[in-house]
Chain A
């Protein structure tokens, strides 16, 4: 890239500075007694209705994932990346089904994390630990995806990046952005992203609407855009026919070939099932006022999916606009750089970068609370004071972010969507323990633990062994692998989940036959349909998300 555009950079830095100041000031916004309790640090506001829940949960969808990772796959001619659309369609009927039950049982018993529920349901600290650790681990690549979003924007603006620059000059701007994020999250807790989210959403809505409605008209309309993209893929396939035949390169296209159909469907289904296993998604869900808020949201949230789909297609628009970048992640930022006036491009870049900071902060806080509640307090220091808990969470939020940085530096940043998909491989293995348990206690706790372990090991090893296209012997090259006993490729997370469930079913039969202790279930049938206003239902989860359970 090289040339730094003064106007662009000034606008970008202005918004970044505003957000940084807001982040630190947030500590004083609607201040409680002290930030030295998790209650204060971990959740700055509560009792969310339909509107705020829509905003909170929907905000998780508009991340760097939307602007950078998904359009990048389309730009690169890997049309399977459009699975993000069916993913966000099937998501809502799925959450409609099980989330209200999780809401009810959590509000009856004061559960704040999914691991809390698992512990209460199965009387097993160890199974809860497995769920908590998985949440921590899976969050890291998801945060890494956000950091990559920031990095890409910086590179397109001409600061940082570049293969000829030294390591320091290359990654320094990213480290600075990262350090700022870590510092104000540490200082202000969830108040920081909550306050910044107002700026973020305003900027993002403006950019999205302009990008998906004005830009295509400048480029000759959608029909033209699709045609140009397809012609460019056809030309690529013709020029690289030999490499494609030998497997050294992947054929490009704008419509998935028949062999990719199951890959497409399994990525959509696997991602949809995985999303609400993540600690940060559940935080927003449990903070909603009642069951109807959740169900109403399941009907309203798809409005986001529509814009997500159009944004994804900007990957094709970049081709039609003649954007040529080596790193496909830069396609959309480079498109903005090329088509928008400087000041608006600067604003768009600020929107993307801030749009990455907010979820990164929320994710690290949610993961840190999981640590404090289900690892630290459960195993290390059961008598921890509120202040000790807050300290633990603050420190852990830093550890999680550093973990994310390791993923950024260690994995192939050219394909950031794989980060989200790798997290999905892990987090999905907690589904039987959480979701099945909402309906039945037939599964044995140790069988669920064994199924989880097998799924984790299989998923990780399989993902590790996927080479990047054209690089034999490389690792973590993609989310797809041939399903055992077939010749069809599918999303590794879903295959691992099936194996996980099979192990859990078989071992449950065995463990029940030999009558291994099942533990005492704290929950009752009525807990799963209880709503706000019912006896024993807490209007607000005390300590949400993170302090001591207030009892059943």
Chain B
């Protein structure tokens, strides 16, 4: 994840440890990536919903769920991006408030 990498190399960001917010963003995104890939969890016909087998409605239901996780991650990332910018010597973003 984009949270904390090695990164002492020349050319790479000196540090990307962006504190708690960065870790939360990483976890939210990780859930969004890993959960849809856990096929055994939802690989069954029952229980049905509105005629849809579980296999199908679960995946369709994942779409808004993961989207929501990404929205939350987006909001949080704006804050952690500011910290990241500070750590590489960039000024705070001018339009930072407009994004929220």
Of residues 68 through 82 on chain B, the ones whose CB sits less than 8 Å from some CB of chain A are: 69-71, 73-74, 77-78, 81
- Cross-chain contact of A93 among B32, B56, B81, B91 (Cβ < 8 A): B32
Most buried by A among B28, B33, B40: B33
Given the known interface contacts A89-B62, A223-B48, the answer about A529 and B95 at a Cβ–Cβ threshold of 8 Å is: no
Q: A309 contacts B50, CB within 8 Å?
A: no
- Cross-chain contact of B95 among A221, A309, A533 (Cβ < 8 A): A533
Taking the nearest CB of chain B, how far is it from the CB of A269, in angstroms? 6
Q: A441 contacts B33, CB within 8 Å?
A: no
- Cross-chain contact of B53 among A97, A226, A534 (Cβ < 8 A): A226
The residue of chain A having its C-beta at the shortest distance from the C-beta of B73 within the complex is: A96
Q: Which residues of B contact A305 (CB under 8 A)?
A: 63
Q: Which residues of A contact B36 (CB under 8 A)?
A: 86, 89-90, 268
Whether a CB of chain A sits under 8 angstroms from the CB of B20 is: no
The residue of chain A having its C-beta at the shortest distance from the C-beta of B54 within the complex is: A255
- Cross-chain contact of A85 among B44, B45, B59 (Cβ < 8 A): B59
Most buried by A among B13, B36, B94: B36
Name which of A59-67, A291-299, A402-410 contacts chain B: A291-299
Given the known interface contacts A256-B39, A439-B5, A525-B14, the answer about A93 and B51 at a Cβ–Cβ threshold of 8 Å is: no
Q: Which residues of A contact B45 (CB under 8 A)?
A: 254-255
Q: A524 contacts B11, CB within 8 Å?
A: yes
Whether a CB of chain B sits under 8 angstroms from the CB of A167 is: no
Of residues 110 through 133 on chain A, the ones whose CB sits less than 8 Å from some CB of chain B are: 121
A contact residues, total (Cβ < 8 Å): 58
The residue of chain B having its C-beta at the shortest distance from the C-beta of A306 within the complex is: B63
Q: Which residues of B contact A255 (CB under 8 A)?
A: 43-45, 53, 55
Q: A306 contacts B69, CB within 8 Å?
A: no
Of residues 4 through 54 on chain B, the ones whose CB sits less than 8 Å from some CB of chain A are: 5-7, 9-14, 16, 28-30, 32-33, 36-40, 43-45, 48, 50-53
Taking the nearest CB of chain A, how far is it from the CB of B19, in angstroms? 15
Contact with A along B60-100 (1 / 0, CB 8 A): 10111011011101100110010011001111011100010
Q: Which residues of A contact B84 (CB under 8 A)?
A: 529
Given the known interface contacts A255-B55, A441-B9, the answer about A295 and B37 at a Cβ–Cβ threshold of 8 Å is: no
Given the known interface contacts A222-B52, A256-B39, the answer about A309 and B11 at a Cβ–Cβ threshold of 8 Å is: no
- Tell me the bound Cα distance from A300 to B71 in angstroms: 8
Q: A264 contacts B39, CB within 8 Å?
A: yes
Q: B51 contacts A226, CB within 8 Å?
A: yes
Q: Which residues of B contact A552 (CB under 8 A)?
A: none
Q: What are 6 A-B contacts defined by CB distance under 8 Å?
A: A92-B70, A93-B33, A97-B1, A258-B40, A528-B13, A534-B90
Top 7 nearest A-B pairs (CB, nearest first) are A223-B51, A521-B11, A93-B32, A525-B13, A261-B39, A86-B36, A93-B29
Residues of A within 8 A of B (CB): 82, 85-86, 89-90, 92-94, 96-98, 101, 121, 221-226, 254-256, 258, 261-262, 264-265, 268-269, 291-292, 295-296, 298-300, 302-303, 305-306, 309-310, 313, 439-442, 521, 523-526, 528-531, 533-534
Given contacts A90-B36, A441-B11, 16 further A-B contacts (CB under 8 A): A86-B59, A90-B37, A90-B66, A97-B29, A222-B51, A223-B51, A268-B36, A299-B74, A306-B60, A439-B2, A440-B5, A440-B12, A442-B6, A525-B12, A528-B88, A531-B93
